[in-house]
Amino acid sequence: QKEVEQDPGPLSVPEGAIVSLNCTYSNSAFQYFMWYRQYSRKGPELLMYTYSSGNKEDGRFTAQVDKSSKYISLFIRDSQPSDSATYLCAIKGTSGSRLTFGEGTQLTVNP
Amino acid sequence: SQTIHQWPATLVQPVGSPLSLECTVEGTSNPNLYWYRQAAGRGLQLLFYSVGIGQISSEVPQNLSASRPQDRQFILSSKKLLLSDSGFYLCAWTQASYEQYFGPGTRLTVT
């Protein structure tokens, strides 16, 4: 079993839709949770990060963590064509400096 | 502010040729540095990480090597490239915080 599972998609939605991207993880020692956005042929860009259960909001983006279920989500409201990218979740434990990444979900927002 | 550079941006090399990819970070000191490889449509595979000058940890046995000759410089090398070495190579850095930031990447094609 992989430490982090992420549905690779592809996911295609119309402009303006609410997008839900999800990851599950197996190690309860994971404490820090990040979402990256990667445009085609570019390096991943850190989008959001959190270390606690609950929601964290930044503009149209909301990161949600449920440690009891080992489940994290990224919601995108009012999705735009410019949101079309691959979204990777990344999780880290309390010690060491290694991140464990999901495989990434490819999202396309159609105008 | 911190910036991370990688070069070259793209590279086409024949099988059996040597490789040298360079990564430099500006605006920070004593960063942890990482090399990842991303195959097409796949997640990120950690290859090497370094917590200081001359300190290299290898994650995956392969014909690649890494060196850190200066605090903010990280080099990925190979003496003889294989077809399977093709991919998108990403350098990343972290410091005291847990967020990890990526460079723009080098796309390597081995022919």
Q: How many alpha carbons fall within 13 Å on the CB side of residue A19?
A: 28
Say whether B51 and A97 touch across the interface (CB within 8 A).
Answer: yes
Residues of B in contact with A41 (CB under 8 A): 88, 105, 107
CB of A108 within 8 A of CB of A11?
yes
Cα B83 to Cα A12: distance, rounded to the nearest angstrom? 33
Q: What is the pLDDT of residues B12-34, one digit of tens each?
A: 999 999 999 999 999 988 999 99
The CA dihedral of B6, B10, B16, B22, to the nearest 10 degrees, is -10
CB of A70 within 8 A of CB of A28?
yes
Residues of B in contact with A52 (CB under 8 A): none
* Confidence band of A96 (pLDDT split at 50, 70, 90): low
Q: Minimal Cα–Cα distance from A36 to chain B, Å?
A: 10
Q: What is the pLDDT of residues B77-100, one digit of tens each?
A: 999 999 999 999 999 998 766 789
Burial class (CB in 10 A: 0-12, 13-18, 19+), B88: buried
Interchain contact A94–B (C-beta under 8 A): no
Cα B33 to Cα B66: distance, rounded to the nearest angstrom? 11
